[in-house]
């Protein structure tokens, strides 16, 4: 007997509908940051541009940043936590935009020091 069938049977007996399978495409759970102010940077020709943004959520593999500016979606970006204890810039690629929020996928897993700083 598989666990999904058991959940369905228990849900039917209790009158509570069983949860639907998750459609979340993420590989890592998302966290709400303690530190929310970040820099998002990108190259515009020969000039590096960095804008302040608000970190909405993050995981070891990516983040969502609210920012007014619109970097070229085809170009890589870099994320850096603002303020004391700032860690190096994290390279990322843009995987989508919803309003002012840019979804990022990190080129490498987030270093533990940065993760610790954000929570």
Q: Which domains does the chain have, with CATH numbers?
A: 26-118 (2.40.10.220)
DSSP letters of 65-92? EE-SS---TTS-EEEEE-STTPPPPEEE
Residues 16-41, mean pLDDT to the nearest whole number:
68
- For 29-47, b/e burial (b = at least 16 CB within 10 A) is eeeebebbebbbbbeeeee
Residue 51's Cβ-count burial label (10 Å; 0-12, 13-18, 19+) is middle
Note the Cα 12 to chain centre separation in Å.
36
Q: What torsion do the CA atoms of 26, 67, 73, 77 make, to the nearest 10 degrees?
A: -80
Say which range, 7-16, 60-69, 95-104, has the weakest mean pLDDT: 7-16
CB 71: neighbour CB atoms within 10 A? 19
pLDDT surpassing 70 at residue 21 = no
pLDDT in tens, 40-84: 999 999 999 999 999 999 998 999 999 999 999 999 999 998 877
């Amino acid at each position: 007997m598989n666990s999904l069938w058991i959940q369905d049977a228990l849900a039917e007996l209790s009158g509570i509908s069983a949860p639907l399978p998750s459609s979340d495409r993420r590989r890592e759970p998302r966290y709400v940051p303690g530190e929310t102010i970040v820099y998002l940077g990108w190259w515009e020709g020969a000039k590096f541009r960095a804008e302040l943004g608000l970190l909405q959520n993050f995981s070891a593999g990516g983040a969502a940043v609210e920012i007014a500016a619109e970097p070229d979606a085809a170009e890589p970006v870099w994320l850096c936590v603002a303020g004391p204890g700032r860690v190096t810039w994290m390279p990322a690629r843009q995987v989508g935009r919803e309003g002012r929020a840019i979804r990022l996928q990190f080129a490498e897993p987030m270093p533990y020091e940065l993760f610790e700083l954000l929570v």
